[in-house]
Structure 1
């Protein structure tokens, strides 16, 4: 386990201690591909650097930061002067305050509406770059910084709120590349005096204190974590004194606290609402509880105020076995690595056991101050993804269908009989505009069957899909148990007479059915027909999670031709490749 991942969630104080820690441990990050972040700003935002680097250090992500000239953000975008160490940025952070942005910010009647100007700025960034954009709402000028503001003057509040609504609507219309951070919410959380520093504002145009900078950096870090495939996928929940108050085996269904009209029942009820919000975003829910299974399942079915039910739960382990064994068992059943799990429990003993024996699992304790429980995932949101797809909305159902496949397989006499009886049908085609978000999401989230683990934004996928020298294919799978949705991506690039497989990945939910052979074969067959009979190259870039793919290209008929600092290269003439579609798979013809 990497030592940095066990750093505390909150950075050390003061800033000098934080910088010292970064000096000691920052060099331990083995990330060979740093994420490049450019700040376009109209105030001094450089103090955020150690906070952002700290939160990325916890995820073993190395960051290179660039800061545009003060107030020069429009010209920087128009001129293309936004490089970070000579490379295009992966993320552009638009850090803007109202006073420097709008010269008439204090005048109650704004003659110059700044709304179109802020939209034009965002349009220019999206059109001229492929970066993900992180913007902020404007803070209403506060007396802590602007002591001369007239008491009772609401007109400025109203106009600032209207301008922020323009920004929010822009974010809603551009969900794939535009992320909004609510400065007002951060300010309300810590208070103006704890967030804003008048002396630093007047001396160096640096308005924010420690807590505000830390929260701002965390939210930027969540975006980067998602881009780099570090978002968690599975939430494993204890039950007693976690999903409800009390012990169901002792108190009975009617005796547990879950009534939203009382305390502490309202706390647990609101916590369940936050859990359901995660499930709707595609987070896989599982239960791990030392309990009698029948007691827990009856409560899920019968309690009038229990929001969670069996349909929300992809898998459960409700028994008296040690919880580390149950987490391993859940990992096997769901085919998700344990480092993609977040475990919530009220017992310090259970928390310590998992932290000791399974340090790769993220452990979130039920807060000692119970009223903080409903906000647990606002404090820690390791599940952040940039956009939500149809597959996300159906993920629990798809995992339940997968459990049906496993039970069906156990009843049959052989693997061959099982595969033939599934009635697997696959659809392979070039990615459509509606699929770009899902393709990008798969490159960012898929770790196990992913031969190169290259992470791509939606803009980058869109560019490759529209390039005559590139091709982006998708795989969708269905069988007798249901539709698994878009679960595979194949990206190839051509240079003269050589085709190169840039990305080949498949969701772990559809592995074990020889679909990878059919998918790669069909994509290469189609490209040979459209591009010509090519010489093909491919790579395997090893990670801690994709060892199962190490021998794929040799099994496909390619020979190892070399090694790079990242991995292994393979090549073969098209006629030497083993392009086959297994007989138990029904393949719809490739469409473009």
Structure 2
């Protein structure tokens, strides 16, 4: 049983590892030669394939430790490693800020009771794991994602691409639009295939700020809607010269009658800063206009989706009726906006 605390299933998004006597046996600066601890890398690769990220927080010489990770062929497994002499709790804070993940989605693995206690005192939200207990601890349900989609095994690469974008943007001296134009973004929209449904279900559960209704849909519900002649289920994906963002948008349209109804519209928060929040919505509006139909949309105020409400207003929707926090919006299809000039739109 976990001696610290037990979060809910799939709550751990990133595991942060100590190095000396945790990732490897021995103390690098004292022993010179160290050997990987049996089974540790297997755990890391297993969780990596499930979409769980990994990083490092180690009191060590940065250059020496990074060289050793490189020699062992492990450097690419760890995102934004923090190796130095500051408190490991501060290292975890820095990693969380860089990856834009909550501290309660982190686990920290160390062999020293002092370090685990310091973490508990400074950032109690972080799950703590003694290095001697990883064979049991890392199989607990909080380390098993609720969703394992076709994107899970590529999650590390997508985050690495985002870190590269952030680094370039921090040094860019032009305007925001000039930077976005340099990304060479390609936005694709296509009818959902069965292979998309696990990620689609995940999007409905995990997306809060850019979810128009807050409703979640199961795999089976989405599969039935995908095959329904009366519905249109669209999936959007985004990539740029740094790599793929994955599937980042989902729209569910109920067709028929004078008006089409947009029953669900959501976008992943990972693209909030990319200026593409209206592209999928604009495509749905264009499809409705070309079909000779009007377009209405369900919107439910959840307290967290104000950004989606602004997106609708910016795209020409106005409030038609309201009952408590449930709103019906109606679109003005007479003047549709083109996608931003820095995005190439491809429709399948």
Deviates more, 1:459-468 or 1:339-348: 339-348
Say which of 313, 323, 327 aligns to 1:554: 313
Q: Does 2:333 align with 1:575?
A: yes
In 2, distance between residues paired with 1:355 and 1:365?
A: 11
Equivalent residues of 2:285, 2:336 under 8 A apart: no
Partner of 2:79 in structure 1?
A: 314
Corresponding residue for 1:336? Answer: 101
* Cα distance in structure 1, aligned partners of 2:209 and 2:107: 18
Q: 1:486 aligns with which of 235, 240, 247?
A: 247
In the superposition, the TM-score normalised over structure 2's length comes to 0.86
Change (3 A) 1:514 1:292: same
1:418 to partner: Cα distance: 0.5
- The aligned residue for residue 270 of structure 1 is 39
Determine the C-alpha separation between the residues in 1 that align with 2:327 and 2:78. Answer: 42
Shift in Å, 1:297: 0.9
Following TM superposition, by how much is the alpha carbon of 1:450 offset from its aligned partner in structure 2, in angstroms? 3.4
**Which consecutive unaligned segments of at least 5 residues does structure 1 have?**
1-5, 10-57, 60-224, 259-267
Change (3 A) 1:550 1:299: farther
Deviation, structure 1 residue 444: 3.2
Residue in structure 2 matched with residue 265 of structure 1 by the alignment: none
Using the TM superposition, give the Cα deviation of residue 483 of structure 1 relative to its aligned residue in structure 2, in angstroms. Answer: 2.8
5 Å-filtered alignment, 1:26-425, equals 59=8, 225=9, 231-252=11-32, 254=33, 256-258=34-36, 268-303=37-72, 309-361=74-126, 363-366=127-130, 370=132, 372-389=133-150, 391-413=151-173, 414-425=175-186
Compared with structure 1, are the counterparts of its residues 388 and 434 closer, same or farther at alpha carbon in structure 2 (3 Å cutoff)?
closer
**1:469-548 aligned within 5 A:** 469-494=230-255, 496-530=257-291, 532-543=293-304
Displacement of 1:524 in angstroms is 2.7
1:576-591 superposed matches below 5 A? 579-588=337-346, 590-591=347-348
CA contact (8 A) 2:59 2:86 kept: yes
Q: Deviations over 1:160-192 (max 9, x none)?
A: xxxxxxxxxxxxxxxxxxxxxxxxxxxxxxxxx
Deviations 1:329-355 (A, max 9, x none): 222322333333223233434434444
TM-score norm. by structure 1 comes to 0.53
Q: For the residues of structure 1 that align with 2:306 and 2:90, how far apart are their CA atoms?
A: 23
Call closer, same or farther: CA 1:548–1:337 in 2, change over 3 Å.
farther
Unaligned regions of 5+ residues in structure 2, if any?
none
Give RMSD over aligned pairs. Answer: 2.9
**2:24 counterpart SS class:** coil
Q: With a CA cutoff of 8 Å and minimum separation of 6, indicate the structure with the bigger relative contact order.
A: 2
Change in 2 beyond 3 A, CA 1:8/1:512 = closer
Moved more, 372-381 or 569-578: 569-578
d(CA) in 1 for partners of 2:22 and 2:66? 15
CA contact (8 A) 2:4 2:128 kept: no
- How far has the Cα of 1:496 moved from its partner? 4.5
2:194 equivalent among 418, 422, 433:
433
Q: CA deviation at 1:448?
A: 4.9
Q: Which residue of 2 aligns with 1:142?
A: none
Aligned length: 344
Cα 1:240–1:549 shift into 2, 3 Å: farther
Inter-CA distance 275–484: structure 2 relative to 1 (3 Å threshold):
same
Structure 1 distance, partners of 2:81, 2:292, is 49
